[in-house]
Structure 1
Amino acid sequence: MSINLGLQRMKPLMESLLAPQKTFKVFHVAGTNGKGSVCAYLSSILYKSSIPVGRFTSPFLLEPRDSIFVNESPISQALFADVKKLVEQTAQRAGVRPTDFELLTATAMEVFNRKQLDVAVIEVGVGGKEDATNIEYKRRGVLGTIITRVGLDHQNLLGNSIKEIALQKAGIMRAKTLCTVSGDNVPEVLSTIETQASSLDQISVVKPDEILSQDDGVYLETDSYGKIKLSETPLNGDYQYMNLACAVRALDRVAKLLPTVTRSTIEAGIREVQWQGRLQFISAEPFGGNEDRKILLDGAHNVQAASSLGKFVNENLRGDEKITWVMALSGNREATEILSLLGRPGDKFYAVGFSPVDTMSWVVPQDLTALNLAAKDLDLDAVPTEGLSLQTVISNALSSCSAPVVICGSLYLISDVLRLTKSTL
């Protein structure tokens, strides 16, 4: 079943489950890029603050259950299977035919209820207003909503203009609940969100000039915790400073409701945050490379994310060397536009696909011929890969040059790479 937005199935399903989502407090996060990182920061900080915390993010990286974390660990296969079966049986009895994502969302809510968590950090799947996560939570239980960077993505579902998409994201805002907004959004996005607010007091925009660069690092001044050093984050990319600032601001605004969150627990949560598949370096050794050689992974799957990846590569890897790209895109992505933000003439390019995605049969990789044509149009050196395994392609890419190898374009490709390294979350 493909993506089918709307809450007409979730409402009766959650009622039939006796509203498990009303047993905990919530941070609800929407956006086009950065929302997963914000969720990771929030849950890491809350965990370090001795608050029982759940995290629901999508898409999953290795298997569906790793969308659901409890106290910074993925839930067990046994718990996932047990709760998922309950949700499926409940849906059948209620005469509801939920989508796979709705089933996964309901499963997460029931897991958090069973684990008697205090707070859940919940990432929107697609859009916001009509997303399965935008259900009725505990009365006054939404601690805060957050809207990260908004860009053009999922236009077939959300609208063809940035304003239409911003309206969908703004649909997670709730009366008398503060919405923290990433200030590096374009003016049209910010004005659209402000227009949808019941009052301007409902919105806190983290302005870029509030993120202060000093001799010893990058900081955000807070009302409750003093200056927080954002540059302590282990996650790569300077855009992470804004993501982290949004998470810290959201906590700062409800500090009285979360008394165990302190400056020291925030600092600990920042230092220990983990978020795989985004500007992540892995060893080349599983692919026959030198043990000291690194491969960069990044699930940059849209124009906005590709721009950030390109900036990171140019500033940190390129130098005088050409870059070697291994890329897969899903079928509806603009290959030429994305590649134009990444590659430079003479870079090597290896087009690949990705494995069938569990529960999402409609997600298919873009045709290799189309990717290669886009690469050649940009004067990239497209290397034939037809009939080769992903393991072989990566090994060939490593052995053909000493240049940095970047694997990117789809989180589903990143999932395949991590499986080859036998990675666990």
Structure 2
Amino acid sequence: MNFGLERIHSLLEALGRPDERTQIVHVAGTNGKGSVCAYIASVLGTCGYSVGRFNSPHLIEPRDSINVNGQAVSQALYDEAFAHVHQLNKNGAIGASSFECLVGAAFYVFDKAKLDFVVLEVGLGGLLDATNAIRHPAMTVITAIGLDHAHILGHTLEEIATAKAGIMKKGCPVVIAPQDSKKVLDTLVRHADKTGAPYRVAQPSEFIRPNVCQLDIDQAHYIYPIRLVGDYQRMNSATAVTALDWLYRMKLIAMTPEQLATGMNETRWPGRLDWVNVDKYGLRQLLVDGAHNPPATIALRKYIDSLAKNRVIWIIGSTAGKDLHAMMKELIRPQDAVYAVTFTQPEGMPWIKSSSPSDIAKEATQAQSVECCSGLDDALSKAGSISTDHDVVVLCGSLYLVADLYRKLSSPE
């Protein structure tokens, strides 16, 4: 991948800088970016604002990355946007990458919709990511930092944090999520000070009832329900609420505590601790999670342990280059069963490759049984044939594998 912002700047200039005709909340981090974006966009929509949201990678199909007022953009508009951007790219001999064209297409769509806000998720890293071509965000947000994409961003948490912190801008407020590492938090705070970006460090919310959170910010007292499960949602939701509270205090939005509670409760984010029915394969319930790096697998394992089941039956697929050893070490227990699979090549993302099932199997040797499967159908059938009420069946390791499952479940028989 050829990183740098020259091409995306040229593309946005050719588009007439549509990114400067809306207010942007720019979100970077290792884990939690998607759900934080979803929370913020949902609450802004509940408050009556028109909102665009950009997330990558897409889940089911490429147009999913571009969302307007809670709906993925239509295929016709997606095609129109890409045709226009590709023509500008060709005419200007810009040489923009496919991801840079996707960012340009998103802003073409957002500009056409004349939106009040855009919630923009970083693709990879921060400093050199194509989304960082925006010059005047209303706010930036840094979610939890962990080891991922180390071959590109750096081999220490501090190096990765510095890359993510590259989205901070002078004079632009930044919300920093709770961090597991003091060194990471110190790195982010130092970068904010050096950049001249006013910052707030979010504090985790508390569960006062199952799926109901409480968070105090200065004199404000927020109580809000959430449907996304997992203890880490205390951090993700608090980060979003801290950002929304600050937007309100800056008078950039009007918001009541009731609107915030409604918007938080209405937030959905598929592929994160998502329970689905797959009766066709003899599975009453399947836990689906896109956990694809060590911090995400830690959170997934913590949630599974809370279920108090005897055994986990894993269906695992991973992107090539991920730290399979660390992931398997965190996830697998001696009584578990593992079915290793590949995922379908994602459309429009030729740089993404699936790990071979044999590579996964080599790192899952602590399990009671490990099998390489011919495909997802094979793995689901085998998992269904051995599962009992005392087991939990989990599909994880990559959002691309999650997408394969969702496509399978939504397709007609």
Same fold (TM over 0.5): yes
Matched residue type, 1:287: Y
1:10 and 1:338 map into 2 onto residues whose CA distance is 34
Residue by residue over 1:275-320, the C-alpha shift from the partner in whole angstroms, topping out at 9 and shown as x without a partner, is 010110100224343xxx210000000001000001001112x43x
Structure 1 contact 391–420 (Cα < 8 Å) conserved: no
1:133 and 1:124 map into 2 onto residues whose CA distance is 6
Q: C-alpha root-mean-square deviation of aligned residues, in Å?
A: 1.8
2:208 and 2:271 map into 1 onto residues whose CA distance is 29
The answer to whether the aligner puts 1:411 opposite 2:399 as a matched pair is yes
Structure 1 contact 234–273 (Cα < 8 Å) conserved: yes
The answer to whether the aligner puts 1:275 opposite 2:275 as a matched pair is no
Residue 342 (structure 1) aligned to one of 326, 331, 353: 331
The answer to whether the aligner puts 1:356 opposite 2:351 as a matched pair is no
- Residue 299 (structure 1) aligns with: 290
Matched residue type, 1:171: G
- Cα deviation for residue 395 of structure 1 reads 1.8
Distance 1:308 1:84, change over 3 A: same
- Cα deviation for residue 184 of structure 1 reads 2.6
- Residue 16 (structure 1) aligns with: 14
Matched residue type, 1:415: A
Which residues of 2 match residues 107-122 of structure 1 at below 5 A? 107-122=105-120
Matched residue type, 2:329: S
- Residue 80 (structure 2) aligns with: 82
Which residues of 2 match residues 208-227 of structure 1 at below 5 A? 208=204, 211-214=205-208, 217-223=212-218, 226-227=220-221
Structure 1 contact 348–381 (Cα < 8 Å) conserved: yes
Matched residue type, 1:391: D
Residue by residue over 1:340-374, the C-alpha shift from the partner in whole angstroms, topping out at 9 and shown as x without a partner, is 11111020100000001111122111121121121
TM-score by length of 2: 0.95
Structure 1 contact 58–123 (Cα < 8 Å) conserved: yes
Matched residue type, 2:75: Q
Residue 265 (structure 1) aligned to one of 259, 262, 272: 259
- Cα deviation for residue 414 of structure 1 reads 0.2
2:13 and 2:239 map into 1 onto residues whose CA distance is 32
2:274 and 2:207 map into 1 onto residues whose CA distance is 24
Structure 1 contact 284–294 (Cα < 8 Å) conserved: yes
Structure 2 contact 207–234 (Cα < 8 Å) conserved: no
- Residue 136 (structure 1) aligns with: 134
Identity %: 36
Distance 1:334 1:259, change over 3 A: closer
Range that drifts further, 193-202 or 90-99: 193-202
1:302 and 1:79 map into 2 onto residues whose CA distance is 34
Matched residue type, 1:135: A
- Cα deviation for residue 197 of structure 1 reads 1.7
Structure 2 contact 40–240 (Cα < 8 Å) conserved: yes
- Cα deviation for residue 215 of structure 1 reads 6.2
1:133 counterpart SS class: helix
- Cα deviation for residue 242 of structure 1 reads 0.8
Distance 1:279 1:214, change over 3 A: closer
Q: How many positions carry a matched residue from both structures?
A: 407
Structure 1 residue ranges without an equivalent (≥5): none
- Cα deviation for residue 136 of structure 1 reads 3.0
Structure 1 contact 36–57 (Cα < 8 Å) conserved: yes
1:94 and 1:392 map into 2 onto residues whose CA distance is 48
TM-score by length of 1: 0.92
Matched residue type, 2:126: G
Distance 1:397 1:213, change over 3 A: closer
Structure 1 contact 50–260 (Cα < 8 Å) conserved: no
